[in-house]
Amino acid sequence: MADDGKTGFAKFVYYIKVFHALDYILLVTFALAVVYGMRTVRPPCRTFSWNDTDISHKKGKSTFPSGTLFSMEFIPIGLYLLFEALRARLARKGEWYLDVKETDQLIDGATTRVEMLEPEGKRSEGANAAKAGRYPDESPEGNKENEPKRLMTCLEATNYWVLAHGFSIILAVCLVEILKVYAGRLRPDFLDRLKKANVTEGTDPKDLCDIAKARDGRLSFPSGHSSCAFSVCTPMALYFLSVLHAFSGASVWRTLVGLSPIYLACACAISRTRDNRHHFADIVAGSLIGMGTGLLAVAVFFRFGKEIAVLVPRRMEFVRSRGGRVLADVAE
């Protein structure tokens, strides 16, 4: 019983490490600290003119309200899981981009073979390998036996996409929150916000710095919606481009379809100028921040395959190449 308890605890610790639970906790804690910390900081109380046309626009209804933006942040998680499950379920043995094979490559002078991740190859190559007996468990019985391993590998790969997704969003949000308070730029609808708060030209200028609606009106640069949209859609676009093999130069339509999340991000960003919530420079800066964090997040957790341009989790290959275990090995 004691051994079973130790084994169970060891597996629990292993799952914590594999699924990067501590990284998720760190990201959430960091985000909450920055967001709520910045709310206690007063942005620069800039002087302004009641005749300034740049800040005298009417406050429009938000085309992409906060609820829609919230949905955009969580829907991709389900899409990552769905597409990874389909890729794992529909691919035959040797054709899935995360299938492993035995290799004679030796690591650090070792004399035993190790399992290596095999980059996704052409479908014909996988079929020829199966016929040649390279994958002995190609039979229906073998496929059924490998389903638990594929499920585990699928979950681990999906987790890396979710982790990159969360890292991209949280890093963008934290950067934007800090820059908003530091810049203190007035929104295009700043005067309209003051009027709705019953503030007039006769109000003591010192009081304007402490009015809640006036404070939000001083947080125009950079655009939070733009950064959030691109931090969500950039990793997702790279994922779609990888799934469609767009980086292999197959055809233009794959690239156009794979970039579909970027179209949505552009629409969200531009809507902020139409709604008079941000200046054009605000959305450009926010978009660049979101795109930058998205590219960084994917680069940190993924690399392109050696034989074909498919994004593969770096950590899974790193562990495998050194004789370590990935989640699928636990199912053995």
Interatomic CA distance for residues 292 and 167, integer angstroms: 12
Task: Give the pairing type, strands 311-313 and 302-304.
Answer: antiparallel
Active site residues: 225, 278
Closest CA to 48 of 186, 155, 194, 161: 186
Cβ neighbours for 78, distance < 8 A, ≥ 6 positions apart: none
Interatomic CA distance for residues 14 and 17, integer angstroms: 5
Interatomic CA distance for residues 326 and 301, integer angstroms: 15
At 65, the amino acid letter reads P
Cβ neighbours for 26, distance < 8 A, ≥ 6 positions apart: none
CA distance readout (Å), 152 to 19, 102, 156, 237: 11, 19, 6, 24
CA distance readout (Å), 153 to 10, 25, 145, 164: 19, 23, 14, 17
Closest CA to 220 of 106, 55, 17, 97: 55
Q: What is the DSSP letter of 227?
A: H
